[in-house]
A and B are shown apart, each in its own frame.
Chain A
Amino acid sequence: MTMSHLPLAFLNGVDPWIFAFSFVTVAVTLGMGFWSARKSKTASDFFVAGRSVSVGWNASAISGEYLSAASFMGVAGMVMSSGYDALWYPVCYACGYLFLLLFIAGPLRRFGAYTIPDFAEGRFDSPLFRKIAVCFVLFIGFFYTMPQMKGAGTTLAYIFPGMPYWGGVVLVGAVITINVALGGMKGITLVQAFQYWIKLFAISAPIFVLMAVFGFYNGQIGATATEQTPAALTAAITRKPLVEKAPKDEAWVAPFGPLTTKAVTAAAAALPVEQRAAFLDEHKRPYSLLYTYSLIIALVCGTAGLPHILVRFYTNPDGVAAKRTTMWVMILIGVFYVFPPVFGVLGRNLMPELYTGLTGIKGTDQVVLKLPTLLSAKFGVLGSILSGITCAGAFAAFMSTFSGLLVSMTGALAHDVYGRMLRPNARPAERLVAFKISAVLIGAVAMVLGCFVELLEINFMVGQAFAIAAASYFPLLFMSVWWRGMTMKGAATGMLTGGLCALAAAALTNFSTLALDKGPMGKVFAGFAPLNGFWAAHPLLRILCEQPAIWTVPLALTLMVVVSKATASNVPADIRMKMLVLHAPEQLGLKQEYIQEHTAGAGH
């Protein structure tokens, strides 16, 4: 809190290079937002960018939006802290996108509903269901903004050593909120595309320099077992001694390591010493496998239900362009995801002191930002420049994802709650004002939530947002697209039950983790401390709560089928036409026909 009595004290100890790169990224982002705000006038410009975006721009923009602080900072931090098991995150982020392409993207695009609530209403002719679906845009959105805010707080605390965590959260949150309120999505398409290329450059260029100096990826991993690795590979690699809190090499590099066995290890620690070995032998690996599968389900299915990703499919001019765009997105994100784990591996060998910071802002989540400074000892200013570049990439990461989420959530609030429920007859000018007020409102809530999560790992929180999406939107979209017997009641029951169970599980896990804190957070969540004793006695329940997808997704799907069968008389009357619109090629023009019939017949 030195800021209060000496206004510029937080600038002490700031590296000018790091500051300059970060500042330029933010300034360019804002500049593009203001510039395009002057060009976008109408409300539909704000919502889907007038559907006038080319394949290259759009693919870069989707990738830019998809690669969040979790991908840029979180994956590296988690690979460093947990090793092999963390690799599931980047792999499943990429596979999840493929899954979305295979089953959901095409039909949803043909249907022409440009948000999930639009689809929910159109598919079941139910404005009520739309309102239920809107809630989940906000639930998932807020869960996903928390890790972005942690990324912002961590990065600013790194750039300005005197700044408290919450200061970074509030500063970055306010800047992006203003940008979205002024620019809308038209601005964001350009900004997102630009930010993808910043992120790719910022993650790849420094790591190549680091590897050239300190030894390559394979050699660095090889250094974890020197007796099995050719000496030529590891000759140039000097590791720093690991600190006490770091996991051991063999557990770190192998599957079923610290991430997935944490619950069982904690349970064993609570047992009498003589029972521990037998308990670990029996439970460690099976539970770990369960954890892995649950994580995979959450990440792969969850991608399909992220509200801010789907909306992008509508910014392509036609279906073929949408497919081409998707192919490029797969390539762009795939190339990116090779790099963050490299930071994690190098961080383990070269900067083990980060392990002592654990999960706070001084922990492994900042490895991407801090690792390049190692070059300063040999090459002087180069270390600062490269660290400045990764900071710029981190800014691009949390700014782009936070903007995208803010647009989706603001769209839901302005378009659905205000435009449809509160003031259906509002004029365009009033709608635009509503959009701006909603953006400020949602930005403020996201900042408050962001202040609470300093102690949770970025990547872990994003996994939770995916788990909620996997149990709510994914079953809704998947079943509604491929099964015509689905009814509104079935869809609503499944989505609400699955989604709320996942939400409750994620919240409980976080509350009990925060209760362990020695600082102020521990006091706020002290009521949840007894839960940790319960977890120690029941490690299986802890895993099912920490990674709920393995039971919530089947639960949601089953409920949808059972309730739909029970209410089969409520299947929409024009279901064949709806299915045709979802599945017939766009050239046949069924969409137009459907809209005409619908407006003529139903009259709403």
Chain B
Amino acid sequence: MSSTTPAHDDAIHSESFLRSLMRRQLRLSIACAAMFFVALLGMPLLNYFAPALMATRIGGFTLSWLILGVLFFPFVWIISWAFIRRSIALEAEEVKSVSPDQR
């Protein structure tokens, strides 16, 4: 990367802080994204390879319609709730790890 020296020489501006910061945030985002991608990208595959199963009728709905038209929305809420909780906690930890009284 570029060879500039940082203007400040403390924990906040260090390379290691930035790296751990980005890695932790990205890991959290990817973990949450993986959950919804498995569901979102898995649905067409299920429809493709198990059409009979997905056409099963449950109280009038086909299984496939019930999942996509109704159940998917609460599922998305759960993921976003988990993400927001974790990410607020993560920020609090990050602030704590570089605040002066911790060093």
Contact = CB atoms under 8 A, between A and B. Distances in A.
Interface string A565-600: 000000111111101100111011010000001000
The size bracket of the interface on B is: 35 or more
B80 A218 contact: no
A300 B40 contact: yes
A102 B47 contact: no
A48 B66 CA distance: 40
Interface string B49-81: 001001101011110110011101110110111
Contacts of A585: 91-92, 94-95
Contact of A233 (B21, B59, B74, B81): B59
B73 A102 contact: no
Contact of B61 (A221, A327, A580): A221
Main secondary structure of the interface of A (DSSP, over half): helix
A254 B2 contact: no
Nearest to B62: A253
B65 A102 contact: no
Given A580-B13, A580-B18, A229 B57 contact: yes
Interface residues of A, number: 70
Given A296-B41, A326-B84, A590-B12, A256 B25 contact: no
A357 B4 CA distance: 65
Contact of A94 (B13, B18, B22, B76): B76
A567 to B, nearest CB: 13
Contacts of B57: 222, 225, 228-229
Given A221-B65, A583-B21, A597-B7, A334 B95 contact: no
B1 A575 contact: yes
A229 B1 contact: no
Contacts of A254: 51, 55, 62, 64
B53 to A, nearest CB: 12
Given A334-B74, A580-B18, A219 B80 contact: no
Most-contacted residue by chain A among B36, B62, B79 (CB, 10 A)? B62
Contacts of B55: 254
B1 A583 contact: no
A106 B40 CA distance: 23
B83 A102 contact: yes
Interface stretch (A148-156, A239-247, A267-275, A317-325): A317-325
B36 A323 contact: no
A331 interface: yes
A84 B62 CA distance: 10
Nearest to A254: B55
A571 B2 contact: yes
A253 B98 CA distance: 56
A585 to B, nearest CB: 4
Interface stretch (A285-293, A440-448, A452-460, A519-527): A285-293
Contact of A583 (B13, B18, B59): B18
B41 to A, nearest CB: 7
A98 interface: yes
A576 B18 contact: yes
B59 A482 contact: no
Interface in B16-48: 17-18, 21-22, 25-26, 29, 32-33, 36, 40-41, 44, 47-48
Contact of A323 (B61, B62, B84, B95): B84
Contacts of B51: 254-255
A484 interface: yes
Given A255-B47, A576-B15, A584-B21, A485 B1 contact: yes
Minimum-distance CB pairs A-B, first 3: A222-B60, A218-B60, A334-B73
Given A91-B40, A330-B76, A585-B94, 17 more contacts: A84-B62, A90-B69, A91-B72, A94-B72, A98-B76, A230-B60, A255-B51, A255-B64, A334-B76, A334-B77, A572-B2, A575-B1, A580-B17, A583-B18, A584-B18, A585-B92, A590-B12
27 contacts: A84-B64, A84-B68, A88-B68, A91-B69, A92-B40, A101-B80, A102-B32, A216-B60, A218-B60, A221-B60, A223-B60, A230-B60, A253-B65, A254-B62, A323-B87, A327-B81, A330-B77, A341-B69, A571-B1, A575-B2, A580-B13, A583-B18, A584-B18, A585-B91, A585-B92, A588-B98, A597-B7
